[in-house]
Structure 1
Amino acid sequence: MNAVIIAVLIMLVLSLVRVHVVIALVIGALAGGVVGGLGLTDTIDVFTNGLGGSANVALSYALLGGFAVAISRTGLPDVIVKLALAIVGKEGDSRKRALSKALIFIIILTISCFSQNVVPIHIAFIPILIPPILKILNELGVDRRAIATIITFGLTTPYILLPYGFGAIYHDIVETNMAESGLVINRADIPAALLLPVFGLVIGLLIAVFITYRKQRNYETKELMRETNISEKAFTKRSVIFAILAIIITLIVQLITKSMIVSALAGLIVIYLSGTIKWTESDELVTNGMKMMAFIGFVMLSASGFAAVIRETGHVDALVEQVAGVIGQNQALAALLMLLVGLFITMGIGSSFSTIPIIAAIFVPLGAAVGFSPLAIIALIGTAGALGDAGAPASDSTLGPTAGLNADGQHDHIWDTCVPTFIHFNIPLLVFGWIAAMVL
């Protein structure tokens, strides 16, 4: 049996039965290494050495987490949310229900998108913004599944397409792991290759908002399970101004250095110098940031070790030869199978970022053998990595929306977040990712 298939299947099965994904990756890698003839000791050595492949990304996440916590301390997110609530409240009291709903959708979509690239606070805005407006959503009869799809769209689409914030990390992972698997690309080509798949996400969002969940859905107005009172947050004009300045400097430094580590560090220094965060609080700040991003960082480190092991077995080449022998030069079938593999792996892991090191090791040689262009291979890897992130039960892109929308206990994680986002985003991604692979 091929070691790659054994390793991936064990990792997937363990993940799906709720074994922690880091443990599943380690066990899968060990099993694959032994089956591949490396022996237990050599497998452990290869896995350990392979961890360094994602060290840069893990540190980027840690510092970005610290920067997100620092930004939240300045009060900038609270200012944005207060303005949003003020606008929504004003319009929500009027009789123009359609306008009020549209305004709410636009505000949530904008803040969700900004949380990935402009103000990289990830899902930290959700418990601040969503619970306070649940009453307004109930009065307007808004189907919360529409809100879940809007938030998930904002949490995924920007990092897939735009090379800033979390998008810079995602694109770096794609470029680095493709290079390690034998295909050197220009990072500037990644947005162009992923434009069609992102267009599929846009179509999915429009279908969800204007067709599937456009009808009124009734909810009972209840006391929130956990109250959120943003008026208690203390902030000053000075702290907000320096927060905006820190964000601008972070973006500029990232453009110049192409490094999220350096840019996040620059943003942190600006906030420290502003006096908003005391130097004595820096240890707590960075620690809290690391805690917020620790799960993703450790999964990515483990995934890098996993990929190193399956490459070392030499069974990747054997698998590529076997698959290429079956499908021949049938690129249509090859693209479909590759995207489905990415879907299953991401659904099991729950992280698109952590899927890339695993699938790149397989997709690069297989794509080359079948005759795909570099742009097509980028589209396949980038799309396959993102596939499943929207519908995975363990993904931040689904856990975050549920945390906010279920504040009063009326939003089911699986049926109201995971299933709707899976249908409206993964299916269009699969279709348009396949089209991108065929035309690029």
Structure 2
Amino acid sequence: MNAIVLAVAAMMLLVLIRVPVIMALIVATFIGGTAAGMNFADVVDAFEAGLGNGANIALSYAMLGAFAVALSRSGLTHLVASRIAGLVGAKSSASGNLYAAMVIYGAFLVTATLAETLVPVHIAFIPILVPPLLEVMDRLQLDRRAAACALTCGLIFAYMLLPVGFGAVYQTDILTKNINIAGEAHGFAVAASTVPLAMLIPALGMLVGLMFAVLISYRRPRAYKIREIGEIAGDEKPAHPPMSQKQITLSLLAIVIALITQLILGSMLIGGLVGFALLSLGGFFRWNEVDDVFVLGLRMMALIGFIMVTAQGFAAVMQATGEVPALVEGSAALIGDSKAMAAFVLLAVGLLITMGIGSSFSTVPVIALIYVPLCLEFGFSPLATVALIGTAGALGDAGSPASDSTLGPTAGLDADGQHDHIWDTVVPTFLHFNLPLLAAGWIAAMVL
């Protein structure tokens, strides 16, 4: 069995039987590395070399966690929750609850889309936006699995379809560039302007999956305990005295300055640090409480950060095995002369690779060199080739335990310790997005 297939299968099996994600990633790393013929020392070296790639994002998330907790102590998050509760009606009828759910899930979808395009902050907004809304969602008994699907859909749908922000990076710098590099020897090239058209059908497939999740799979009420951000393991529930206009202004100013800092410097870490510092100096909590607030934020994000770091080590070993070409070649042997089967196999292989690497942006450069000649051999059009490779890269971004498109939503939805990364984010997003993407990507490849 191919080492990457074996490693991904081992990782998924382990996490599904509730082995901690970090342990599952480490065990799967050594299973895949040794299966590929790497000795133990080489696996360790590649794994440790890859760990550093995740350190920045992990530390950035820890700082954003501290900023989120500081915002909650300022009282702004409680104020926001109260206002939204009044807007949607926390004790309304079943039809009113459906309206409230659509408002909240729609806000998550739109905000995630904006975070990938017009305001390219990626997942940095989640620890700040989502935790204040948990209390409202819990009073409405909204299923957080649907919220996870809404956030993940916005994060992936946006870069697949819209050529702005991270979408421009994926479509122009990643997808078009690597397809043209692979096709140069064959006289094959595509224009970046054709990518949105090629990715339209797969993107619509994601929206279909989201509607199914929200309206069917997770429509029933789900009970949660009403907790504050960070109120885990007996933490004291902070009081929320009424905020003055000056405090509201200072809190909003801290958010805006943190966002501007991140956009200018391109650093979530510095943006979170600036926001936390402004709230600390604003007098929202006593100076001798600053350390406690900071540590609470770090604790809230600790698991997510360590998973991100470990996932980078896992991805480094998978790339070091050199098993991707063997996986594609072995799969090609099963295709025969069937164009329909070729499209399905190429998409399925992309799903496996991205599930392991955890990033569509990192998957496309790996598969494009192999996929383009195969697409030309089977007579796929330029639009179909873009759709196949673009969808194969995006497949697995949802549903991977190691993807920031699943880790980000978990970071926000688990702020009070009531959301499981695997069963409440990974499994729901895998079922509702990867399966529709497989079908929609296949349709796009056959009709374009």
Provide TM-score, normalisation by structure 1.
0.69
Give the one of 362, 368, 371 matched to 1:367: 371
Partner of 1:202: 207
1:69 alignment partner AA: V
Find the aligned partners of 1:197 and 1:233 in 2 and give their Cα distance. 45
2:274 alignment partner AA: A
Q: Structure 1, residues 157-201: CA drift from partner, whole Å, max 9, x if none?
A: 2322457xxxx99989979x979xx78999999988866544333
Aligned residues: 400
Partner of 2:318: 310
RMSD: 4.9
SS in 1 for 2:306: helix
Partner of 2:186: none
8 Å contact 1:200–1:432 — kept in the other structure?
yes
Shift of 1:387: 4.2
Does residue 321 of structure 1 match 2:329?
Answer: yes
1:200 alignment partner AA: G
Alignment of 1:291-440 (within 5 A): 291-327=299-335, 333-337=341-345, 339-340=347-348, 354=358, 356=360, 363-371=367-375, 377-387=389-399, 424-435=432-443
Q: Structure 1, residues 17-62: CA drift from partner, whole Å, max 9, x if none?
A: 3222222222222232223232111221111111122222222222
Change (3 A) 1:232 1:422: same
Change (3 A) 1:246 1:193: farther
Find the aligned partners of 2:25 and 2:265 in 1 and give their Cα distance. 32
Does residue 105 of structure 1 match 2:114?
Answer: no
Q: Structure 1, residues 49-87: CA drift from partner, whole Å, max 9, x if none?
A: 111222222222222222222222222221121112223
Change (3 A) 1:332 1:40: same
Change (3 A) 1:62 1:162: farther
Q: Structure 1, residues 116-142: CA drift from partner, whole Å, max 9, x if none?
A: 5595326524541123334xxxxxxxx
Does residue 23 of structure 1 match 2:23?
Answer: yes
SS in 1 for 2:126: coil
SS in 2 for 1:385: coil
Change (3 A) 1:367 1:71: farther
Shift of 1:105: 2.5
8 Å contact 1:11–1:28 — kept in the other structure?
yes
SS in 2 for 1:386: coil
Q: Structure 1, residues 228-251: CA drift from partner, whole Å, max 9, x if none?
A: 799942344333322322332333
Provide TM-score, normalisation by structure 2.
0.68
8 Å contact 1:148–1:402 — kept in the other structure?
no
Partner of 1:284: 292
SS in 1 for 2:395: helix
Partner of 2:283: 275
Residue identity (%): 34
Find the aligned partners of 2:331 and 2:94 in 1 and give their Cα distance. 55
Change (3 A) 1:344 1:256: same
Show structure 1 runs of 5+ residues with no match.
Answer: 135-143, 408-412
Find the aligned partners of 1:380 and 1:218 in 2 and give their Cα distance. 35
Find the aligned partners of 1:419 and 1:37 in 2 and give their Cα distance. 31
Show structure 2 runs of 5+ residues with no match.
Answer: 120-124, 182-190, 230-236, 376-383
Partner of 2:140: 133
